[in-house]
Amino acid sequence: MLVSVWIDTKGRLLVTTLTKRERVQAALAGQAVDRPPVCFWHHFRPHGSGYRLAELTFEFFVRRFDLDIAKLMPDLRYPFPRRCIADLEDWYLVDTIDFRRSRYGGEWLRAVRRLRQLAGPDVPIVVTVFSPLTQALYFAARPELVLQHAAEHPAVVHGALAVLAENIRRQIEVTIEAGADGVFFALQGCTAAVLSRERYRELGRPYDLLALGGAADGWLNVLHVHGDRDLFFDDVLDYPVQVFSWSDRRAGPSLREARQRTQKCLMGGWDEFGPLAHGPLEAIRAEARDAIEQTNGRGLILANGCSVPDDTDERWLAAARQVVEELTVPR
């Protein structure tokens, strides 16, 4: 067990007794913690280099802010052009990727291995991966084409989604083998703002579950439901993950409401476009304290609901990190 010493904003000497891994594992189990595990993030610009992505990740999550989880962002370009699917036949271009031999897979493995080398064994690492439907929406010239083609020629679109799901399943599997502790599995489209609940159950859920099969050996798998309104939150509560992440301050449900629906660990508490991005300190502290009050400080990873803007003034992130050390949680 490690002992960490921290000086808070009032000059007080604070001592924590859990390692990062122990703290996160305790939160997942709903046990008492010395303080809530904390994580926040934004995107990086590694220019296609897994090695560079690992270094940027280590610098931000470990060296600069000493966060409890290091999150590899999805900032390596997928080997398929954006907005390239315009006609039905274009779905046949979605092909299988060999993650052990392709350059794309090689860069991801390089990123995970290098980050583990830099961070050591105690820092939990999650790899951010977009769901099959999210990728399909990204590849389509217009997102509505996915729904149109699926209605007119379902076998074609379902075939492409199955290929994407298998690619993602394998990506998750090999990155966990390479040293990641789990996946941050991001769902876009899991909201009434994009499609109906019934369509998500057809085009999203089956392929989400197929892809998540690759995370079976991970102990820190996070499901992120992206969107700022009308999330299909209840439809994914049975997914095989340990943590749920969403914009609780913007989209809902609140942390308190979510706790009534699941006993799994919740990740949130800070508005990604609110005080965490713009201050002031007291508002950052207020949201953190409110998150603890809503959850009784158990089963909580204090985090932003989604990425903060890339140009966020880091003084507010530093303030948030210090605030966490000052928090008291029920024992």
Q: For the purposes of burial, counting CB atoms within 10 Å of the CB of 158, is it exposed (0-12), middle (13-18) or buried (19 or more)?
A: middle
pLDDT of residue 77: 80
CATH number of 4-326: 3.20.20.210
pLDDT of residue 251: 97
Q: Contact 191/133 with Cβ under 8 angstroms? A: no
Q: Judging by DSSP bridges, how do beta strands 38-39 and 243-246 pair with one another?
A: unpaired
Q: For the purposes of burial, counting CB atoms within 10 Å of the CB of 159, is it exposed (0-12), middle (13-18) or buried (19 or more)?
A: middle
pLDDT of residue 137: 95
Distances (CA, A) of 36 to 103, 144, 246, 273, 324: 38, 40, 17, 21, 7
What is the C-alpha to C-alpha distance for residues 48 and 86, in angstroms, rounded to an integer?
26
pTM: 0.93
pLDDT of residue 14: 52
Residue carrying structure tokens 């995370």:
215
pLDDT of residue 45: 85
Helix, strand, or coil here: 127? strand
Which DSSP category does 140 fall into? B
pLDDT of residue 47: 85
Sign of CA dihedral 117, 121, 123, 126: positive
Give every CB contact of residue 286 below 8 A, 6+ residues apart in sequence.
275
Q: Where are the domains of the chain?
A: 4-326
Residue 44 one-letter amino acid:
F
pLDDT of residue 329: 86
Chunk the chain into consecutive blocks of 10 residues (it has 331) and report each block's average pLDDT, rounded to whole numbers.
49 69 97 96 90 97 98 88 87 92 93 98 97 96 95 98 97 97 97 96 98 98 97 98 98 97 98 97 98 97 97 97 92 73
pLDDT of residue 33: 94
- The 3-class SS string of 169-236 reads HHHHHHHHHCCCCEEEEEECCCECCCCCHHHHHHHCHHHHHHHHHHHCCCCCCEEEECCCCCECHHHH
